[in-house]
Structure 1
Amino acid sequence: MKLDRRQVLAGLGGIAMSGVAQRSFAQTKMSLGASEVISISDGNLVLPASMFFDGVPQEELKAILAANGITSDQLAPPCNMTLLRQPDRMVLFDAGSGSGFMPSAGTMLDSLDALGVAPEEITHVVFTHAHPDHLWGILDDFDDPVFPDAQLMIGQAEWEYWTDPETVDTIGEERASFAVGAARRLEAVQDQMMMFGDGQEILPGVMAHATHGHTPGHMSFEIRDGSNAVMVGGDAIGNSHVAFARPDWASGSDQDTDLGAQTRMRLLDKLAADQIPLMGFHLPHGGLGRVERDGDAYKFVPEDA
């Protein structure tokens, strides 16, 4: 059985390929001074390629995908969450899918356990955006907070968008379940939540960068210690093939496709020029790697390659 775009965006992706969770737990890590940045797995999604690539030049698309060994009409992007471990805090970027989105995802707690980290040890959870695979894991199966002692943090624009009661009627039928799910979960944890804006140092050494387009308030985060840094990019750069080879192409996964492409090109240029490693939520090899120029385009070079 194949998934179509409507099934996935309605949150029904789990009806197929329910046994393909990538239970690799801790994947890649890097040191930044006294801090450790660790990629942990929340499993993977199962998505129709058409969700991303409808409307782009198909012959050029086929060549790009073939060069990256992709021949299926379904994609199984990994979900890489980022843990920032410091002497006085434990910061998790995004909360994963939980059990309510796709059976192939939702392995975050197992991944933390493999690192010897209990949910109660997480001091902060910082959200790039409020799509299901980044937010829904904030509540357990009983609708209780998974991180009851943590300070939760989200961009002001993202909070306002998903808590606006009109969003469910304006986001489009295919994504209406996203709006309902986000509003319910954000309301449940609102007493733990604080908001921030673009360019704000939300924690010592953690700077928020507006990377809007994938969602109206999507944020990325530059973690820096002196001259060393890494960018937690969320879904601003959503894959390691087409997003790098043709970042100017619209992606159907972005809510604002034009702004998403502009943001992607700007971010890739910054990462390549400043030689800042990227931790990408849906990139391979645990998501950690470098952005390099490749003629008029870019390429992703995994840190462990």
Structure 2
Amino acid sequence: MTITRRRFVQIAAALPALSALPRFALAEMALGEATLTTVSDGTLTLPADFIFGPMPADVIASIRAEFGLTDGPLTPECNLALYRDGTNTVLFDAGSGTGFMPSAGILPDSLDALGVSADEITHVIFTHGHPDHLWGVLDDFDDPAFPEAKLMMGRAEWDYWWNPETVNEIGDARAAFAAGARRRMEAIEDQIAFFDDGDEVLPGVAAISTPGHTPGHMSFEIRQGGSAALVIGDAIGNHHVAFQRPDLLSGSDQNKELAAETRKALLDRITSEDLTIVGFHLPGGGMGRAETRGDGYRFVSG
């Protein structure tokens, strides 16, 4: 269950085009005969209060100092998981496309640098419906970005964004999220397949309900050949306060209390089972593991 750092270097050396991609990060691990690779969709630019707003400033001061987190904007990576088992070529989430933030939307170039075409993607499995995870399902012409792929989303997550009342209830700051999600979901309605908590969505890939960040957020446990990893989306949304103080309520989560409960339970499981994780906004390509640290945890990349 070790991440192949040598493979990381080999791939990076073999892909000189990657130097042109902003903040491209790549990590890879073997899962039996399958591989799990992270591919970049660029970065986001977020105000610090997007995460820290609800948190007591004195409580998180030392964490912010340790990680050099000033009052300036946060620029988290966007790392998608690409799973290949010899039969299926699976993307977890679709990235943001080019209509969300100028610093994001590079997934097509990242896949091209890996030698993977959009037509080769057999499945796109969504963790949730936020813009940086869903909006890239359509290209710049509103055509399917992955025309041969089966699209899959948790039933509860789909129902939440499909509900016409969500745009009125989600709050002004996220109303555009809801409108954008609904527009894209209308375009893919005939292509979508649903799953529920505990379902085996593909051989060796099981859905795990991890709600709070959004109402129907899903993570995925991948087990092949005695190895395992968790694709956690935004259930653990950063490498600093979410690990050191998972109990603190984050402004990035729609249901803050539920998200904190989910984070704590997930980190307990990750550390007790020593699982490799892929987090969408974690650094260094998003792949690593969690270790206990005092009363909290720390993220170990690579």
Q: Judge same fold: TM > 0.5, yes or no.
A: yes
Whole-angstrom CA distance in 2 between matches of 1:204 and 1:136: 26
Q: Distance in 2 between matches of 1:126 and 1:54?
A: 31
> Which residue does 2:160 correspond to in 1?
161
Tell me by how many angstroms 1:25 deviates.
Answer: 3.7
- What whole-Å deviation, never above 9, does each CA across 1:205-236 have from its counterpart, x for those lacking one? 00100000000000000111143111000000
Instruction: Find the aligned partners of 1:118 and 1:153 in 2 and give their Cα distance.
Output: 19
Cross-structure match for 1:262: 261
Taking the aligned partners of 2:54 and 2:203, their CA distance within structure 1 comes to: 42
Give the match for residue 178 of structure 1. Answer: 177
Amino acid at match of 1:280: G
Query: Shift of residue 295 of structure 1?
Result: 1.4
CA RMSD of the aligned region, Å? 1.2
Whether 1:119 and 2:118 are equivalent positions in the alignment is yes
* Cα drift, residue 66 of structure 1: 1.1
Give secondary structure in 2 for the equivalent of 1:71. coil
Q: Distance in 1 between matches of 2:213 and 2:90?
A: 23
SS at match of 1:39: strand
The AA in structure 2 aligned to 1:40 is V
Rounded Cα–Cα distance in structure 2 between residues aligned with 1:256 and 1:155: 17
CA distance in 1, matches of 2:167, 2:100: 18
One-letter code of the match for 2:63?
A: I
Residues 136-157 of structure 1: CA distance to partner in whole angstroms, max 9, x if unpaired?
0000111100011100000000
Tell me the secondary structure at the aligned position of residue 182 of structure 1.
Answer: helix
Aligned residue pairs total 283
Residue type at the aligned position of 2:211:
H
Equivalent in the alignment of 2:102: 103
Contact 2:125–2:152 (8 Å) recurs in 1? yes
Report the Cα distance in structure 2 between the residues aligned to 1:262 and 1:202, rounded to whole angstroms: 25
Q: Distance in 2 between matches of 1:288 and 1:135?
A: 21
Counterpart of 1:209 in structure 2 is 208
Asked if structure 2 preserves the Cα contact closer than 8 Å seen for 1:78 and 1:281, the reply is: yes
How many angstroms does 1:72 deviate by?
A: 4.3
Within-5 A mapping of 1:152-301: 152-301=151-300
Where does residue 35 of structure 2 map in the other structure?
A: 36
Deviations 1:99-149 (A, max 9, x none): 100000000000000000000000000000000000000001111000111
Question: Residue 285 of structure 2: SS of its match in structure 1?
Answer: helix
Quote the residue 2:77 is aligned against. 78
Separation of aligned partners in 2, 1:270 and 1:222: 12
Please, what TM-score do these two structures have when normalized by structure 2? Answer: 0.92
**Counterpart in the other structure of 1:68:** 67
| Distance (whole Å) between structure 2 residues aligned to residue 295 and residue 131 of structure 1 | 33
Aligned 8 A contact 1:26 1:114 in 2: no
Partner of 2:90: 91
What letter corresponds to residue 273 of structure 1 in structure 2? Answer: S
* Rounded Cα–Cα distance in structure 2 between residues aligned with 1:294 and 1:200: 33
Identity rate, percent: 58
Tell me the amino acid that sits aligned with residue 253 of structure 1.
Answer: S
Contact 2:33 2:225 in 1 (8 A): no
Q: 1:25 to 1:67 in 2, by over 3 A?
A: closer
1:126-141 matches, cutoff 5 A: 126-141=125-140
Which residue of structure 1 aligns with residue 150 of structure 2? 151
Match of 1:299, SS state, is strand
Q: Deviations over 1:51-84 (max 9, x none)?
A: 1111312122121011123234210000000100
Q: Distance in 1 between matches of 2:224 and 2:68?
A: 36
Spell out structure 1 runs of 4+ moving beyond 2 A.
21-26, 69-73
Structure 2: tracts of 5 or more residues without a match:
1-19
In 2, the alpha carbon distance for the partners of 1:186 and 1:92 equals 17
